[in-house]
Structure 1
């Protein structure tokens, strides 16, 4: 993580609206965090727990060496996945098969960070167990949770988030808007839909009465504010008064706050067209964000065409029912938790929960099939990022299959189709979870299951054998003579049409390539490295012809491992550096760690002990950052022959100094060092431009935007995930008050002296 500012806050979405009020509340929560290690923000839906937690987390970020991390739990339907959600948020990979919570404990021990667990109420037991375990096993971890119910742990400090205060009639004066956050919030959100709207002498009594009627609940106020586009404030108050009179028997003051929010949502629902109401209900089956294609698939039919769905989605965005976001270069939408729950109630009322969830499942099953077919090729990075964006909905689709009678076989097929996601993403434990559940639910083993289990087993063998070879005997190329007589099994042939455009053939090629890599790794571990070289070279060539990178990294590392086993250390280092030049390796930290591990071993035995020590420090740091155990990665605690050799050649003091230098390198600097080149400056100017108020990483991103790079190109340039690049760009635009990349480019160029 490197401690750089851009890694201080992780997982928090860009705030596209201003944060209003809450100064005293923020101070209170910060004080509680300084006094205890577990703070839970409670209160009714819509009171602003999530927004307050995010605001406080960003305020205290600099006090935590390893940053603050948001874990969004609203989309989870199974308590078993709470530890997996935390691991995903932290970027911790679990390729060991051990329980996710155990891996998290290892990763967090010795770190100082804040975990923000958002929306815990529906997975309360698992959240309590996770918090209790992590806090007991670590000293520097603190937890800030949001939940409608307390976690119930010893030492938990509760903070009930209050509604925003609104003035009474006698408290209104010229400064009321500044003193009362409820009025400021209404004014801010209303001005967003009616430019120039202000709360002043002519309407402040009506606005204050409206905010009081809504009990100061931020979500209710925001839902009401968007109505000023069509209605005056007095009309809003009159309509709301009528609704309260109906719901509470003429005593508006007696309405509890949960009824207040329900009333506001009911009111928004009634103001939607019948078509928008129906689409709202259908869209409630999405647990994460979704794009227009997904909305059309789930809401299409039933007399609605694609244009009708688009019109309904646009109307729901206008009414603040749907939140519009930009992710992965595409527009996506999501429902706030309270509005999604409301939509599910309406869906149940019309009796369409199962049929809608089935349409949702069918769409994601088709998407999984398309992703599998396109994964082994030039779209691999795009497929990986898109699948991660939809991960919560894939889980929801699987959950539907495994909790609905007669759907288990479809669940097995879906889980098996996602083999590449579980295996390449370091989530094989989750994949096994879904496959096992499907079999327990009555699914019959089939070809899809066999394929998925085979892929997982192959990569497990590759992991194990690669580590074993690097941690082996000294010198590494000496092997027992008996192994030299082992027969070499014939690898399966490349399918006909493998170099064409046939999707099915392309998928088959991926499996054949993995088989070659596993066989090559087996040969290396058995002392037949010479026989492995041809297999690896063929695998690399096939991957290159398809524009594929993940399997190519494994093939290159196995090829390097073969040369290393034969004592050709310079050639081994050459293959490792070729692997490092692939953008995939820099983006995926586990791949980076394995590649640096090989390079460090090759440099050590090639007589470059200082470089080996620096690289060893860098690789151990990367393993620690993703929850791995560096000593285990080097072979169950054994010190490899290469490391012993470098220590002897350099001497312990000098080796340790070089090791510490490597451990302090950022990922980008470690890659640059490994490739033997200085880091490229972000701009062509010798003097750094004044880019305040941007952080250093934001300034780097702004410079690349000014050069005309897309988010995908920025990600490749900085060796970060594309969604991370997108988040940086969104935050920069909001921070500077811009809406277009061209505005940002002009702003940066002017400060860099280019215009």
Structure 2
């Protein structure tokens, strides 16, 4: 409202400079103006907004940007390198919203990115400038009296009130300095008080100046006074909830609020009514997300509540309850990962990442809580591995196992963190770190007679042998681990992945029939339990078997479902393996040009996974076969041209392209079946029937 001139001016500033920072007092509407102005950008690669408000640690600024850009990186390289690689050849606008508490980290990031990405523009939003060379400042002034009065009337109408346009309304807006947040807080009270009553109460508070120190800037005092005045008008229960809600980072749901904030003076069963009251007063906002309805507080309001929480002497207890809730959430989500709710779990964990990070920071900050931090970092293995956050998971796991928990701490927590760290390091191709963690896990597990940790350590050591082409040892270790799982009654996504990995060892040794048998068993178990993540890896093996059996149509069907599932989970490894195999299927179908494009797309994806095809001769065989066939049909020059075309595709474009069946052949003769070559797995027996679809249902 009333920002047309500012919008036009900000658009001109963005057109003239590569770095613009919108500054102004809290609550003046910086974020709304920036988002609206950014929406007008016509840069080819779009606008990407990064909400830095929930980020408390400067170390996570780069991770927040990586996540906002939808990037996934499984390697050990720093997230800054991932950003530089991604942005190097793109023309886009990056909106960094809420930089004031992370100015140094944001300034260093912006300087680095702008220096290496010529097509990048940055719109920063904060109460303080970044103070770097080339920065154009855009100070945002409060609303004029007319605009402020209109905002007050609109917000009041949403509360069912009609304050009119009398002198009291205009005077109230003047006294609130036209700050939109202060006006919205006042509008939230117009259902119970008249503008004149609010003005008289506000006048008293301004005279007392209890909302801010005399050294503060006048408009900072105005906002804090308006918030403090609204706080004074709250009931004791509303004040308690306001203070306790301040422990949440980012958003939260009702169940979390009831558990964390319930207690002395505010029973859990009263939290909903009190939360609804704060919602009506604009202290809390509600939003719909893929994880369901969630609530959040503006940072200014949250900070005020945090000050009050410290003053109550209850901060430590509430933070501990916050950690306990998210430890419980991670534990239940780990169990539910092996269920039909896998996608819901992934969405829930993504929504709760800021709070989970807060719980990890709290637990790993002191020795008395370290074992809980280790357990939490280990329990989130499905988030790190299955949902494309290996790099962040590695950071937490390294920190967790690097801390001494003391002799009295439960060994279980450290053992879990160790095998998960080993698993993450295996997938990152960091063999030294993987072996170190897994050997320590095995030694400690044997000493503690912990059969579960021993099975996991052996399993992941088998995975390491598999990707380093020690196939015989991999088979021995994986069979032993699966026997251990059976003895202790362990059945989950990890166990099913162990069976798929065993199937890969059989395929690499030439026994595709046995590989198919193992993966069909996995497929049936996945169908029984609604599991989709491990199933996608089983589909990958079954697709290769179908292609080897001369049925590229069936192979494409399996790979299409595999890629759709893995991409939905942000599992970059399964995604790129699927694209690689789809390229082979595509060239077999007579589409050599499209196959080369897909190989180029996969080539661009691999650096975010690690060493291409693990540097393994066995994993590399389908790629080499596809390349040889496509080169023969296209010629070297045209093949390389198609690869370059594929390398220009973004990850989303590459996946969409891979899922789209080519319309017509290239006009070149297509092989009738697989083209044998040295090093490729050979079939020794005809594989069993792959799962087929009948009547819309998947059957074995």
TM-score band by shorter chain is: 0.7 to 0.9
Shift of the 220–53 alpha-carbon distance from structure 1 to 2, 3 Å rule, reads same
Match of 1:640 among 618, 624, 639: 624
Secondary structure of the residue that 2:209 maps to in structure 1?
helix
Residue in 1 that maps onto 2:237: 275
Equivalent residues of 1:494, 1:509 under 8 A apart: no
TM-score, normalising length: structure 2 = 0.79
Residue in 1 that maps onto 2:158: 192
Shift of the 24–241 alpha-carbon distance from structure 1 to 2, 3 Å rule, reads same
Aligned residues: 610
Shift of 1:543: 1.9
Shift of the 320–562 alpha-carbon distance from structure 1 to 2, 3 Å rule, reads same
Shift of the 145–552 alpha-carbon distance from structure 1 to 2, 3 Å rule, reads same
The whole-number CA distance in structure 2 between the counterparts of 1:673 and 1:570 is: 21
Residue in 2 that maps onto 1:157: 136
Residue in 2 that maps onto 1:360: 322
Note the aligned Cα RMSD (angstroms). Answer: 3.5
Match of 2:580 among 597, 604, 609: 597
Match of 1:131 among 110, 116, 122: 110
The whole-number CA distance in structure 2 between the counterparts of 1:550 and 1:329 is: 19
2:222 is the counterpart of 1:222: no
Residue in 1 that maps onto 2:198: 236
Shift of 1:671: 5.2
Shift of the 254–410 alpha-carbon distance from structure 1 to 2, 3 Å rule, reads closer
Q: How does 1:343-742 map to 2 (within 5 A)?
A: 343-443=305-405, 446-455=411-420, 457-458=422-423, 461=426, 488-489=475-476, 490-493=479-482, 508-524=491-507, 532-561=515-544, 568=548, 570-571=550-551, 574-581=554-561, 583-588=564-569, 590=572, 591-605=574-588, 607-616=590-599, 619=602, 623=605, 628=608, 632=612, 640-651=624-635, 655=639, 666=653, 669-670=656-657, 672-674=659-661
Residue in 1 that maps onto 2:83: 104
Describe the superposition over 1:5-40 as per-residue Cα deviations: whole angstroms up to 9, x where unpaired: xxxxxxxxxxxxxxx122222222222211221111
2:147 is the counterpart of 1:181: yes
Secondary structure of the residue that 2:492 maps to in structure 1?
helix
The whole-number CA distance in structure 1 between the counterparts of 2:398 and 2:272 is: 39
Equivalent residues of 1:618, 1:670 under 8 A apart: no
The whole-number CA distance in structure 2 between the counterparts of 1:186 and 1:321 is: 16
Structure 2: stretches of 5+ with no match in the other structure:
431-468, 665-700
Equivalent residues of 1:600, 1:612 under 8 A apart: yes
The whole-number CA distance in structure 1 between the counterparts of 2:425 and 2:556 is: 21
Match of 1:264 among 222, 226, 239: 226
Residue in 2 that maps onto 1:33: 14
2:94 is the counterpart of 1:115: yes
The whole-number CA distance in structure 2 between the counterparts of 1:145 and 1:69 is: 12
Shift of 1:607: 4.9
The whole-number CA distance in structure 1 between the counterparts of 2:500 and 2:614 is: 20
The whole-number CA distance in structure 1 between the counterparts of 2:163 and 2:640 is: 64
Q: Relative contact order, CA 8 A, sep 6+: which one is greater? A: 1
Secondary structure of the residue that 1:229 maps to in structure 2?
coil
Residue in 2 that maps onto 1:474: none
Shift of 1:483: 8.0
Shift of the 483–159 alpha-carbon distance from structure 1 to 2, 3 Å rule, reads closer
Shift of 1:361: 0.4
Shift of the 73–245 alpha-carbon distance from structure 1 to 2, 3 Å rule, reads same
Residue in 1 that maps onto 2:23: 42
